[in-house]
Amino acid sequence: MPVKTLTTFLDDNKVKFVTIRHSIAYTAQQIAESAHIPGNEMAKTVMVKLDGRLAMAVLRSTDKVDIDLLRGAAGSTKAELATEVQFQGMFPGVELGAMPPFGNLYDMAVYVDEGLTRDERIAFNAGSHSELIQLDYSDFERLVQPTVANFSLG
């Protein structure tokens, strides 16, 4: 989903947001630094496979996914990190690794770590390695309706 598609979706849903351009960066922590956003307010999207289905795990950039905790939270028997090959092409117009955490727009489950829910505002990749969107967490939760669970090592 190109940035324009996402911003139109947010506008249509009356969400106030800010678009932040930054120098090209690839890791969530590099992006947070480049955009001058605290690491705990920068959300990263990690692609996972739960019982063979792709899903998004969304957590603070400073944390890491505990795949066993996520498996339990999802009620899955098998959980693993997805490879880029497994999700390449699923997000047209989006740079690989820069997926915004809106799995609901792709018929994909979204799991949010509890730690991220404590932040009033979050920022995330907007489909490229040089642009972010920042909005209130409550708006994100309202639109995406993620499953909230404790699955990070932080």
pLDDT confidence of residue 2: 57
CATH number at residue 115: 3.90.960.10
In 3D space, the residue among 60, 68, 54, 30 whose CA is nearest the CA of residue 42 turns out to be 60
Sign of CA dihedral 143, 43, 27, 64: negative
Please report, in tens digits, the pLDDT of each residue of the chain (154 residues total): 457 788 999 999 999 999 988 778 777 777 777 777 877 788 999 999 999 999 999 999 889 999 999 999 999 999 999 999 999 888 888 888 889 999 998 899 999 999 999 989 999 998 888 889 999 999 999 999 999 999 998 6
Strand partners, 80: 49
Cα 115 to Cα 68: distance, rounded to the nearest angstrom: 17
Strands (E), 30-78: 43-50, 53-60, 64-65
pLDDT confidence of residue 128: 86
Cα 63 to Cα 40: distance, rounded to the nearest angstrom: 8
Token match 């120098």: residue? 23
Count of domains forming the chain: 1
Domain that holds residue 129: 3-153
* Count of CA atoms in the C-beta half-sphere (13 A) of 60: 19
Phi, psi of 14 (to 5 degrees): 60, 40
pLDDT confidence of residue 129: 83
